[in-house]
């Protein structure tokens, strides 16, 4: 099974910009990995932020954006708010075995 890697933790100042990345042990992440991004707060169900690399969920604030960056999937937060302090997880699809694998999560401090 592939291993998906994220930064364990990041810190951003209020109003600042931060990028969380998501890499794969099998090689560059591309659109056929259909990257997803989720926000997780303690005691709550996951919240879907981004699907299929760049598509914002209907409830996702515009300050969150998804992209591919240097062979990885990326989640960029522009204009961080205190309420954005949470864990962020990416999820990649592997078509060869129709498997999906989460990254280890990134704890974001604002």
Partner 1 sequence: QVQVVQSGAELKKPGDSVKVSCKTSGNTFNGQYIQWVRQAPGRGLEWLGRIHPTRGDADYTQTLQGRLTMTADTSISTAFMELGSLTFDDTATYYCAARTTGDFDFWGPGTLLTVSS
Q: Which residues bind partner 1 (CB under 8 A)?
A: 1, 36, 38, 40, 45-48, 51-52, 55, 57, 87, 89, 91, 97-105
Which of residues 13 and 99 has its CB atom nearest to partner 1 in the complex? 99
Residue with tokens 């951003």, as numbered in its chain? 12
In whole angstroms, the minimum distance from the beta carbon of 78 to partner 1 comes to: 22
In whole angstroms, the minimum distance from the beta carbon of 79 to partner 1 comes to: 24
For residue 71, count other CB atoms closer than 10 A to its CB: 12
Which of residues 48 and 76 has its CB atom nearest to partner 1 in the complex? 48
Dihedral through CA 38, CA 40, CA 43, CA 44, nearest 10?
-40
In whole angstroms, the minimum distance from the beta carbon of 67 to partner 1 comes to: 17
Comparing C-alpha atoms, which of 34, 40, 29 is closest to residue 104?
40
């Amino acid at each position: 099974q592939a291993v998906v890697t994220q930064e364990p933790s990041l810190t951003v100042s209020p109003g600042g910009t931060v990028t969380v990345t998501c890499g794969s042990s099998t090689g560059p992440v591309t659109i056929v990995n259909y990257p997803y991004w989720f926000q997780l707060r303690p005691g709550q169900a996951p919240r879907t932020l981004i699907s299929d690399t760049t598509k914002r969920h209907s409830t996702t604030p515009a300050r969150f954006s998804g992209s591919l960056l240097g062979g990885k999937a990326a989640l960029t937060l522009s204009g961080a708010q205190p309420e954005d302090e949470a864990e962020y997880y990416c999820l990649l699809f592997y078509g060869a075995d129709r498997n999906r694998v989460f990254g280890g999560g990134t704890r974001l401090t604002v």
